[in-house]
C-alpha cells in the first residue's frame, strides 16, 4: 500500500516538473513544433496538391499564394520572436511610467516589482518565464518564444493575420482541387445500391469517403488545415478586438474576474470598484498605437 501511494506522488511530481519546464521556462520546443507542422503541411501541399493542380491548369498565382503568405508569415515570426517586447529596467522605468496613466484599479502608482526591484509602470507586468517586467504586457507566447508587449504587439498581430491567411489559402486551394476532381469524375451524378438493393443518389458522406480512399493524405491535411483556420480565425478576431479597444490580454483577463477582487486600500469600503478602460482613444488611434507605441513626449502633448 505504501508503494502504491509513493508511485502516484512521484508521477505527479514528475508531471508537475515537466509542465513547469514546458510552460514556465523559455524553450524552443513549441517553435520547433510550429516549424514542423508548417513543413508537413507545405510538404504535402507541394508534392501532391500543387502538382495535381498544375496538371489541371489552375492559375499559377492561385497556386503560389500560399507560398507568398508563408514568406510574409515567417518574416513576421522572426521579427516578433527577436524583437524587444518592451523590457522594463532600472534605467528606463521612470520614463516608461510617464507613458500611460495609472487607472487606480488594475494599475496603481508606487507598486514595486519584488523580482526586478523597479517601480512598475502602468500596463506593465512581470513575466515569470522571461524573468523581467514588460511594458504594456499582453502575454507570453510559447509559439514565438517571446513576450508580447509594447515593442512587438503589432508584429504579433501581423503574424496572427498572416498565419490565418496562410492556412485559409492552403485550405481553399486544396478544397478547390478536390471539388474539381469530383466534377471531372462525374461521381456527383452517380448512384449506388443500398443494403436493400435500391438505387440511391450519391450523397456527401459517400463523396467524402470516396475522396478519402483516393487521396487520404490530402483529405486529412485539408481537415487539419480547416480546423486550424477556424481556431486561428477565432483567436485573430479576439486579438483584433483587443487592438481596436486598446486592451491587452492581461488587462482583459483581470477586468473579467475583477468583480471578485478585494477592495484596494485607496477605495472606500462601501463603494464597489468599477473598472473602466481609460486607454482607448478611438479605433484609428488605437490601431496607430499598436504599430507605433507612444513615447513620453507624445503623452505630454496630449
- Identify the three-state secondary structure at position 295: coil
The string of pLDDT tens digits covering residues 4-37 is 545 566 666 666 555 555 555 667 888 999 999 9
For residue 261, the model assigns a pLDDT of 43
Is residue 205 over pLDDT 70?
yes
Rounded CA separation 154/287 (Å): 9
**Helices marked H in the chain:** 2-23, 29-44, 51-55, 60-82, 93-96, 153-185, 204-214, 216-244, 249-256, 283-291, 296-301
Rounded CA separation 255/242 (Å): 13
Closest by Cα among 172, 179, 165 to 70? 165
Q: Is 141 a catalytic residue?
A: yes
Number of CB atoms found within 10 A of residue 56's CB: 12
Q: Domains of the chain: which residue ranges?
A: 12-255+275-291
Is residue 280 over pLDDT 70?
yes
The mean of the pLDDT values for the chain is 85
Cell of 20: 513547469
Rounded CA separation 18/243 (Å): 34
CB-hemisphere CA count at 13 Å for 246? 20
Extract long-range pairs of 293-302: CB within 8 Å, 24+ residues apart.
293/86, 293/99, 293/136, 293/150, 293/151, 294/99, 295/99, 296/95, 296/98, 296/99, 299/98, 299/99, 299/100, 300/98
For residue 299, the model assigns a pLDDT of 46
Cell of 120: 512598475
Q: Which of 53, 76, 116, 141 is catalytic?
A: 141
Is residue 275 over pLDDT 50?
yes
Amino acid at each position: 500500500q505504501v508503494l502504491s501511494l509513493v508511485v502516484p506522488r512521484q508521477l505527479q511530481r514528475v508531471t508537475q516538473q515537466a509542465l513547469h519546464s514546458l510552460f514556465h521556462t523559455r524553450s524552443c520546443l513549441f517553435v520547433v513544433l510550429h516549424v514542423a507542422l508548417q513543413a508537413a503541411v507545405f510538404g504535402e501541399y507541394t508534392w501532391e496538391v500543387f502538382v495535381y493542380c498544375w496538371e489541371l491548369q489552375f492559375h499559377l498565382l492561385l497556386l503560389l499564394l500560399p507560398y507568398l503568405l508563408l514568406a510574409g508569415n515567417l518574416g513576421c515570426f522572426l521579427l516578433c520572436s527577436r524583437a524587444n517586447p518592451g523590457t522594463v529596467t532600472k534605467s528606463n522605468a521612470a520614463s516608461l511610467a510617464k507613458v500611460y496613466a495609472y487607472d487606480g484599479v488594475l494599475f496603481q502608482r508606487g507598486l514595486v516589482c519584488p523580482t526586478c526591484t523597479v517601480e512598475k509602470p502602468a500596463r506593465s507586468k512581470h513575466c515569470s518565464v522571461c524573468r523581467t517586467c514588460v511594458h504594456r504586457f499582453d502575454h507570453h507566447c510559447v509559439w514565438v518564444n517571446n513576450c508580447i508587449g509594447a515593442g512587438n504587439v503589432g508584429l504579433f498581430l501581423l503574424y496572427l493575420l498572416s498565419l490565418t491567411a496562410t492556412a485559409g489559402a492552403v485550405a481553399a486551394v486544396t478544397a478547390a482541387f478536390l471539388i474539381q476532381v469530383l466534377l471531372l469524375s462525374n461521381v456527383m451524378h452517380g448512384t449506388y445500391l443500398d443494403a436493400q438493393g435500391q438505387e440511391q443518389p450519391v450523397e456527401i458522406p459517400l463523396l467524402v469517403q470516396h475522396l478519402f480512399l483516393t487521396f487520404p493524405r490530402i483529405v486529412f491535411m485539408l481537415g487539419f488545415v480547416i480546423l486550424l483556420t477556424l481556431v486561428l480565425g477565432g483567436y485573430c478576431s479576439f486579438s483584433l478586438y483587443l487592438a481596436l479597444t486598446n486592451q491587452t490580454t492581461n488587462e482583459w483577463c483581470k477586468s473579467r474576474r475583477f468583480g471578485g477582487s478585494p477592495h484596494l486600500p485607496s477605495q472606500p469600503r462601501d463603494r464597489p470598484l468599477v473598472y473602466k478602460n481609460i486607454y482607448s482613444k478611438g479605433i484609428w488611434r488605437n490601431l496607430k498605437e499598436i504599430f507605433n507605441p507612444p513615447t513620453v513626449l507624445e503623452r505630454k502633448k496630449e
